[in-house]
Structure 1
Amino acid sequence: MISNKCGTTSQDEHPDPPDVLQAKIKTLARLVKQSHSAVVFTGAGISTSAGIPDFRGPQGLWTLQSQGVKSPLPLLHVSPTPTLSHMAIARLIKLGKLSCVVSQNIDGLHGRSGIPSARLAEVHGSVGVDVCTGCEKRYQNTGIDAARLIELLSCALDPPGPSNLETERSCTACGGRLRSSVVAFGDALPAAELAKASRFTAQADLGIVLGSSLRVAPFTTLPRSLARARRPLVIVNMQRTPLDVVAALRIGGSTDEVMEGVMRELGEEVPEWGA
């Protein structure tokens, strides 16, 4: 059984100076342009600009929890929508510049950005997908509101909060009860999503990590395998990660700023969500 485990908390941020950041963005854009099968690995940092907290940042869920905050979850008043980074990735997928997105995030924003499920591996589950407890048939769920997202985010706490993963819906194939596909802390990861992620990673000629601390196993083994195969690995994160030492390029900047710069260098516009 492969389970969702985390490492230690880290909240120090190390931003690159503006001139260094811009030079690194140019390098990343060149790598994307030259790639034929790049895979993007995303973590909570890609969704913070949508109002969803990360885990190890200064106001991250695990950071606050380690400081004794009993209820570290924020109050979201509206359902979050895809960020600039989500939309830039969706555009690059459509253009054939990226082959797959492998995400730790449960917020469902990659799916809402328009990425087809065949090109998306959500290894920790998603609020946008329910699964039958009997036959394991998967169903898209578009009825997620802010309150439900907050409830399901508590599954990532250690120990998990009092979330109810079960729904009132039934499977049309076998009649079984549907539950959210979100993986609670310490639970097994969905085998099919992990297999999809592994398959695309094995074929990748470039790996780009956006907003992940790379401290959660087995997710972190995927980008590590690229570095071991001597294929370039780029890490975009304001915080240090355990894989910085094997990365071909480390960028200390926000994912939105970096992806906006990459798209500008590629001569591509970032589509607006819902347009």
Structure 2
Amino acid sequence: MNLQIWGPNGVWTLEEKGLNPKFDTTFETAHPSTTHMALLQLQRVGILKFLISQNVDGLHVRSGFPRGKLVDTILDWEDSLPDKDLNLADEASRKADLAITLGTSLQIKPSGNLPLLTKRKGGKLVIINLQPTKHDRYADLRIHGYVDEVMTQLMHRLNIEIPVWTGPPTKLEPKDEVNNHHPIDCNGISDSSHIKKEERNPCIDEKPHLPKRAKVETACT
């Protein structure tokens, strides 16, 4: 999905100027990118062990990546993330020997801080993004470039073919497990007032003590 958030024509940049952003695609017509499909194949061959996404477009699961249970289809700014999912992401980040961040400024918490847990446990951190990020100083390698181009080169070096997406173009395949949760009103927002919100201590309160390491910076060719 070709959607810019920052930059001269980014959504938030235009909104700050009082202008309406223009989109070249929609959530219904968007399809997984080269990077989505590359990540899928890395998971299939056993290289990628855990995927954490902060996107709401669902393209990472539309690519065929193993999915969990769909509970909601709106962006809940005021609701905490599910403890189970966040704990899984936290645990996987601590166990990982390498964390790769793709196309994110790492501004949104708690997902933006999860890669630091990998560093804290002695792992490596690679940041791939066009612009600088808030955690660049912790990276062992920074690559300023388009993630599709970087992933294409990486897969070529690994001699792993990127599969072609052939899935449904407009919607995700339903899962029976969804019926076990609060029903979703696809024509509007369902009433969730009876659902009790739980207070939690987010892992973002942790401030990892990171060792000073030499950083390597490179640019895409």
| TM-score (structure 1 length as normaliser) | 0.56
For 1:260 and 1:248, locate their aligned partners in 2 and report how far apart those are by CA, in whole Å: 21
- Select which of 96, 109, 126 maps to 1:234: 126
1:183/1:189 contact within 8 Å kept: no
The residue type equivalent to 1:99 in the other structure is K
1:236/1:251 contact within 8 Å kept: yes
Partner of 2:21: 72
Say if 2:59 is the partner of 1:59: no
Give how far 1:187 is off.
Answer: 3.5
1:210/1:236 contact within 8 Å kept: yes
Partner SS state of residue 220, structure 1: helix
The residue type equivalent to 2:25 in the other structure is L
Deviation sequence 1:168-194 (CA, Å, 0-9, x none): xxxxxxxxxxx42x3333432232321
Aligned CA distance change for structure 1 residues 241 and 91 (closer, same or farther; 3 Å): same
Deviation sequence 1:91-115 (CA, Å, 0-9, x none): 0000000101100111111101111
Partner SS state of residue 52, structure 2: strand
The residue type equivalent to 2:18 in the other structure is G
Partner SS state of residue 101, structure 1: coil
| TM-score (structure 2 length as normaliser) | 0.69
Partner of 1:121: none
Identify which of structures 1 and 2 has the higher relative contact order when contacts are C-alpha pairs closer than 8 Å and 6+ apart: 1
- Select which of 94, 97, 110 maps to 1:202: 94
- Select which of 27, 38, 41 maps to 1:88: 38
The residue type equivalent to 1:92 in the other structure is L
Deviation sequence 1:163-218 (CA, Å, 0-9, x none): xxxxxxxxxxxxxxxx42x3333432232321221121121110000001011111
Give how far 1:73 is off.
Answer: 5.7
2:97/2:122 contact within 8 Å kept: no
- Select which of 163, 172, 175 maps to 1:271: 163
For 1:213 and 1:235, locate their aligned partners in 2 and report how far apart those are by CA, in whole Å: 9
2:90/2:117 contact within 8 Å kept: no
1:213/1:240 contact within 8 Å kept: yes
1:118-133 counterparts in 2 under 5 A? Answer: 130-131=70-71
- Select which of 57, 62, 65 maps to 1:107: 57
Q: List runs of 5+ in structure 1 lacking aligned partners.
A: 1-49, 119-128, 132-178
Deviation sequence 1:114-138 (CA, Å, 0-9, x none): 11126xxxxxxxxxx642xxxxxxx
The residue type equivalent to 1:115 in the other structure is F
Partner SS state of residue 56, structure 2: coil
1:207/1:232 contact within 8 Å kept: yes
Give how far 1:79 is off.
Answer: 1.1
Partner SS state of residue 117, structure 1: coil
Partner SS state of residue 262, structure 1: helix
For 1:57 and 1:195, locate their aligned partners in 2 and report how far apart those are by CA, in whole Å: 33
The residue type equivalent to 2:103 in the other structure is G
Give how far 1:238 is off.
Answer: 0.6
For 2:13 and 2:119, locate their aligned partners in 1 and report how far apart those are by CA, in whole Å: 29
2:11/2:21 contact within 8 Å kept: yes
Give how far 1:240 is off.
Answer: 0.2
For 1:266 and 1:254, locate their aligned partners in 2 and report how far apart those are by CA, in whole Å: 19
Say if 2:111 is the partner of 1:219: yes
Identity of aligned residues (%): 39
